[in-house]
Amino acid sequence: MEQIMTNSSYSADAQPFAGDAKPTSFLNLAKTIAMTGLSKSLIYEVMSKGEFPPCYRLSKRRVGWRESDLTTWMNSWPRAH
């Protein structure tokens, strides 16, 4: 399998995960919602604009987001004053 997405371009399409990188963990949608504080619809809306980390196909019927990608994305948010 080949990883198609890069950290600089995000897509709403689930991508296969290449085994060369070893992420610490994948989060399902419920945990992604809990971590980011965003709703399901907002996550998919932001993904469709290419502004959210990609999800990866983990099995035939399961996708997940790399926790490290979500942390990096959240750390890039501007701070409130």
Question: Residues 31-51: pLDDT tens digits?
Answer: 999 999 999 999 999 999 999
Rounded to whole angstroms, the Cα distance separating 54 from 25 reads 14
The C-alpha atoms of residue 10 and residue 74 are separated, in whole angstroms, by: 14
* Amino acid found at 69: D
Residue 70 has pLDDT above 50, yes or no: yes
What backbone phi and psi angles, to 5 degrees, belong to 72?
-60, -45
Token readout for 69 is 């990608």
Average pLDDT, the chain: 80
- Relative to beta strand 62-66, strand 26-27 is antiparallel
To the question of pTM greater than 0.85 for the whole model, the response is no
Is the pLDDT assigned to residue 53 strictly greater than 80? Answer: yes
pLDDT attached to residue 78: 83
